[in-house]
C-alpha cells in the first residue's frame, strides 16, 4: 500500500483555482438598455425619430424660403431646385412648411404626453392610495369622461380659441388625454398599496402624498414611460385629425395635420402638397410606435422579445 505525500503547494494552487470570482453588479437601467438595443425595430425607430427631430430643427434654417414667404412667381409649382418640396397655391415653400409643421406637431405631442402622463399618474395613484370618497369621486369623473364625445368638445373649444396651439395642447391634456391612463394606473396601484414597503412607510409616519410620490409612482415607472411614448402618438393623431377637419392649428401657424388637410383637397392637381407631410407624419407615428413596443419589451421581465439580459 502506497501513501501519498502531502503537498501544500498543490492544495494552495487548488484553493486558488476554486476561489469565487467577484463580479460587478449590473444596474437595472443597463439591463433595460441592453434589452432595448436587441430590438432592431426599436433601434430603427430611435434613428428615424432622431432624424425627424434634426429635420424639424435644421429644416427651417436651411430652407431657401421661410414658411410664411409668398413667391407669386411660383404658385403651386412642382418640386424644383428653388422649391425642394414644391409650393402651394399661395406660393409658400412646402419644404419650410413641412419642417415647421413637424416642429409644431412634435412640440404639441411632447407637451400633451408629459402633461397627461403626470396628471394621470398623480390622479390614479392618489385615488388608489387614499380610497374612500376621493377614490369614488375620481372614478365617477373618469367614467363620465370616457362616455362623453371628447373629440367634439375638443373641436368646439379649439375652434373658439382661433387655433392657438398652446391652448389646444392644454385642452388635450385636461379633457381628452388623462382619464384612460389614470384608470389603468389606478388599477395597478391597488395592488401596490397593499405591499409591505407601503405599510412600512405608513407606520414610519410618512404623509400620504409623500408615499405616493416617493414609493408608489417609482414602482410603476415602466408603465409611465410606455404611457408617455404612446401618448405622443395619440397626441399627434388627435392634432392631425383636428387640423384636417379645420379645427386645429390655423395660419399663419402650421402643423402636419393642417398641411395634410390642405393637401388632401389638391391631391390630384398637386400631390406633393399631400404626400410630403403625410410621409413625415407616417414616419413620426411609426417610429414612436416602434420605440414604445421596444420599451415595453425591455421593461417587462416576462417578455422574451428583448432576449436574455
Helix, strand or coil, per DSSP, at residue 93: strand
Higher pLDDT, 175 or 254: 254
Contacts of 44 (CB under 8 A, 6+ apart): 287, 290
Task: Give mean pLDDT, residues 108-130.
Answer: 91
- Regarding predicted confidence, which is higher, 280 or 163? 280
Residue 309 has pLDDT above 70, yes or no: no
pLDDT digits (tens, 9 = 90+) for 65-101: 888 888 888 788 888 888 888 888 888 889 999 999 9
Are the beta carbons of 41 and 290 closer than 8 angstroms? yes
Distance, in Å, from the CA atom of 56 to the CA atom of 102, rounded to the nearest integer, reads: 6
Q: For residues 83 and 130, what is the distance between their CA atoms, to the nearest angstrom? A: 59
Asked if residues 92 and 69 have their Cβ atoms less than 8 Å apart, the reply is yes
Q: Which domains does the chain have, with CATH numbers?
A: 31-56+94-299 (1.10.3720.10)
Cell numbers for 39: 430590438
| Backbone dihedral angles phi then psi of residue 93, each to the nearest 5 degrees | -75, 120
Residues 30-37 have a mean pLDDT of: 81
Asked whether residue 16 carries a pLDDT value surpassing 70, the answer given is no
Cα–Cα dist 32/221, whole Å: 13
98 close to 87: Cβ distance less than 8 angstroms = no
Helix (H) or strand (E) holding 116: helix 94-130
Mapping DSSP onto H, E and C, the string for 124-175 reads HHHHHHHCHHHHHHHHHHHHHHHHCCHHHHHHHHHHHCCCCHHHHHHHHHHH
How far is Cα 141 from Cα 143, in angstroms, rounded to an integer? 6
| Residue 87, beta-bridge partner list | 93
Mean pLDDT of the chain: 82
CA–CA distance, 27 with 295 (Å, rounded to integer): 17
How confident is the model at residue 23, as a pLDDT?
57
Residue 263 phi, psi dihedral angles, 5° rounding: -70, -25
How far apart (Å, rounded) are the C-alpha atoms in residues 110 and 239?
A: 12
Radius of gyration (Cα) for the chain, nearest Å?
Answer: 27
d(CA 284, CA 263): 18
Alpha carbons 144 and 180: distance in angstroms, whole number:
11
Q: How many helices (H) and strands (E) would you count in the chain? A: 13, 0
Other beta carbons less than 10 A from residue 50's beta carbon: 11
Q: How far is CA 202 from CA 187, 195, 267, 273, in A?
A: 20, 11, 62, 59
Helix (H, G, I), strand (E, B) or coil at 87: strand
Nearest to 226 by CA among 289, 287, 279: 289
Q: What is the mean pLDDT of residues 141-154?
A: 82
123 within 8 A of 138, measured Cβ to Cβ? yes
pLDDT at residue 1, as a whole number: 45
ω into 196 cis (within 30 of 0): no
Query: In this prediction, what percent of the chain has a pLDDT beyond 70?
Result: 86
Statement: residue 18 has pLDDT above 80: no
Average pLDDT over residues 118-135: 91
Mean pLDDT, residues 211-240 taken together: 85
Amino acid at each position: 500500500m502506497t501513501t501519498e505525500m502531502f503537498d501544500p503547494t498543490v492544495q494552495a494552487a487548488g484553493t486558488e483555482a476554486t476561489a469565487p470570482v467577484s463580479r460587478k453588479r449590473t444596474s437595472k437601467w443597463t439591463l433595460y438598455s441592453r434589452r432595448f438595443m436587441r430590438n432592431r425595430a426599436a433601434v430603427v425607430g430611435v434613428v428615424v425619430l432622431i432624424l425627424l427631430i434634426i429635420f424639424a430643427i435644421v429644416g427651417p434654417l436651411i430652407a431657401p424660403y421661410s414658411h410664411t414667404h409668398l413667391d407669386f412667381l411660383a404658385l403651386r409649382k412642382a418640386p424644383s431646385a428653388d422649391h425642394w418640396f414644391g409650393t402651394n397655391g399661395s406660393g409658400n415653400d412646402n419644404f419650410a412648411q413641412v419642417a415647421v409643421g413637424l416642429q409644431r406637431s412634435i412640440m404639441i405631442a411632447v407637451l400633451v404626453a408629459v402633461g397627461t402622463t403626470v396628471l394621470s399618474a398623480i390622479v390614479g395613484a392618489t385615488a388608489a392610495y387614499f380610497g374612500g370618497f376621493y377614490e369614488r369621486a375620481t372614478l365617477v369623473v373618469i367614467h363620465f369622461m370616457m362616455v362623453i364625445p371628447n373629440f367634439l368638445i375638443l373641436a368646439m373649444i379649439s375652434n373658439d380659441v382661433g387655433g392657438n396651439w398652446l391652448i389646444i395642447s392644454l385642452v388635450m391634456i385636461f379633457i381628452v388625454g388623462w382619464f384612460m391612463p389614470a384608470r389603468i394606473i389606478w388599477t395597478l396601484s391597488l395592488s401596490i398599496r397593499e405591499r409591505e414597503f407601503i405599510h412600512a412607510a405608513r407606520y414610519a409616519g410618512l404623509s400620504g402624498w409623500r408615499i405616493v410620490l416617493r414609493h408608489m409612482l417609482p414602482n410603476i415607472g415602466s408603465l409611465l414611460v410606455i404611457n408617455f411614448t404612446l401618448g405622443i402618438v395619440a397626441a399627434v393623431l388627435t392634432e392631425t385629425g383636428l387640423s384636417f377637419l379645420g379645427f386645429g392649428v390655423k395660419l399663419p401657424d402650421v402643423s402636419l395635420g393642417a398641411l395634410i388637410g390642405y393637401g388632401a383637397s389638391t391631391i390630384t392637381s398637386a400631390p406633393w402638397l399631400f404626400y410630403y407631410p403625410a410621409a413625415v407624419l407616417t414616419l413620426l407615428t411609426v417610429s414612436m410606435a416602434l420605440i414604445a413596443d421596444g420599451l415595453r419589451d425591455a421593461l417587462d421581465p416576462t417578455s422574451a422579445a428583448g432576449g436574455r439580459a
